[in-house]
A and B are shown apart, each in its own frame.
Chain A
Amino acid sequence: MAFHRFAGALAKKAFKVSFANTLLPKLDQRFTRHDVRCAHTQVKKLAPDDHRLIWKLQRLCSICLIIALPIDVMYPCLLFDNLFVLLMALHSFWGVNDTIADYCRPILFGPYFRKAWHAIWYITWTVGFSGLLYLNFMDIGFGRALYKIWRLEPKD
């Protein structure tokens, strides 16, 4: 009996030691790593210039454009014309805006060159986009205009 009790106590002690030495530190480490990861995501979410949403919107816009162009040329109407012009204008706005930001470098052209080109682009884009909307609402619309250019009769 005494031997059994002694062996049981020994086993318990051995388990405690092994538990304390192996399992607990592992759990601790896991929690620490987990906490760090959580903190990391939180910091990322709170960042003021987070480009994840705009990046996804840009890809979505590009994919919609691929579908919208053939639909607009095949079935030109006010809805499809405006939808295509809106998507195209957004895609063009982002594209030229990023191109200006990437190539009008302050280190090469000074601090005001990029700002000036951004201003020029914003004004041009606003006027051009308004013109395209005018074409859709007051004239034949974008899809039909494109069709007419492709159906030009040569006059030699």
Chain B
Amino acid sequence: MSAICRLAGRQLCSRLANSERNSLLFVRPVTIQAQPYKEPPKQGHDEKNMQLGRPCSPHLTVYQVQLTSTLSISHRITGCMLSGYAMAFGFGAMLPGDFTTFLDGLHLNSACIFSIKMMLAFPFSYHFLNGIRHLSWDAGKFLTIKEVYTTGYVMVAAAFALTACLAAL
């Protein structure tokens, strides 16, 4: 019995001792075959999240209201308002009758005219000035947090000033 144990031990020990040299003896041979690349199915961000049962991301309601995000969403809102004005103007232009007679036939009082001018001037001023701010970011300027806030405050003040100037014209 002891002879068997001793023999088996010696066998194992010698194998382990030489394992660095003969480590390939323990490895099962595997053939690796190259497969042509298969493109994963084209899927949008939301479609993937829906398929995996994930929640909506980015999730808006978890964020605190900040100047940066408020100015950003206002930029889009004013842009959509101006697009709406332009489209309404285009639709109106195709109605029968020319523009000058239409304007003369409106008979608006001064308060109405002032509010129309404000409705046109404020989204325009805001979108115009914030657009310049966005373009300067795209050019790589004013990108630190401090500069983003400073340009934000300056832009809002300038937008109100420009609106007042335009409405007073």
Tell me the A residues contacting B by CB distance below 8 Å. 59, 62-63, 66, 88-89, 92, 95-96, 99, 105-108, 111, 124-125, 127-132, 134-135, 139-140, 145, 148-150, 152, 154-156
Contacts of B63 in A (CB 8 A): none
Q: Are A108 and B107 in contact (CB under 8 A)?
A: no
- A141 closest partner in B (C-beta): B99
Grouping DSSP codes into helix (H, G, I), strand (E, B) and loop, the A interface class, with mixed when no group exceeds half, is helix
- Using known A-B contacts A59-B138, A131-B89, A140-B98, determine if residue A148 contacts B110 with beta carbons closer than 8 Å: no
| Chain B contacts with A in 107-139, Cβ cutoff 8 A | 107-110, 112-113, 116-117, 120, 128, 131-132, 135, 138
Chain A nearest CB, measured from B124 CB (Å): 9
Partner of A92 from the list B44, B50, B82 (CB cut-off 8 Å) is B82
- Using known A-B contacts A139-B93, A152-B108, A154-B108, determine if residue A99 contacts B76 with beta carbons closer than 8 Å: yes
Partner of B46 from the list A92, A96, A99, A107 (CB cut-off 8 Å) is A107
- Using known A-B contacts A108-B56, A149-B103, determine if residue A135 contacts B110 with beta carbons closer than 8 Å: no
Q: Are B90 and A128 in contact (CB under 8 A)?
A: yes
Q: Are A131 and B94 in contact (CB under 8 A)?
A: yes
- Using known A-B contacts A107-B46, A130-B94, determine if residue A95 contacts B56 with beta carbons closer than 8 Å: no
Q: Are B49 and A107 in contact (CB under 8 A)?
A: yes
Cα distance, A106 to B169, chains bound together (Å): 45
Sorted from nearest, which 6 A-B pairs have the closest CB atoms? A131-B90, A128-B90, A128-B87, A154-B110, A135-B93, A92-B83
Q: Are B108 and A155 in contact (CB under 8 A)?
A: yes
Contacts of A149 in B (CB 8 A): 103, 116-117, 120
Q: Are A99 and B79 in contact (CB under 8 A)?
A: yes
Most buried by A among B49, B113, B132: B113
Q: Are B80 and A96 in contact (CB under 8 A)?
A: yes
Partner of B86 from the list A106, A128, A130, A140 (CB cut-off 8 Å) is A128
Contacts of A145 in B (CB 8 A): 89, 99
B9 interface residue per 8 A CB criterion = no
Given pairs A88-B86, A92-B79, A106-B44, 4 additional interface contacts (CB within 8 A): A95-B79, A107-B49, A130-B94, A149-B103
A–B pairs, 21, beta carbons within 8 Å: A62-B135, A66-B131, A92-B83, A95-B76, A106-B47, A111-B47, A125-B87, A131-B89, A131-B93, A132-B90, A134-B90, A134-B94, A139-B93, A139-B98, A139-B99, A140-B98, A140-B99, A148-B99, A154-B108, A154-B110, A155-B107
Partner of B93 from the list A99, A108, A134 (CB cut-off 8 Å) is A134
Q: Are A152 and B113 in contact (CB under 8 A)?
A: yes
Chain A nearest CB, measured from B78 CB (Å): 10
Cα distance, A150 to B108, chains bound together (Å): 13
Q: Are A140 and B94 in contact (CB under 8 A)?
A: no
B100 interface residue per 8 A CB criterion = yes
Chain B nearest CB, measured from A52 CB (Å): 13
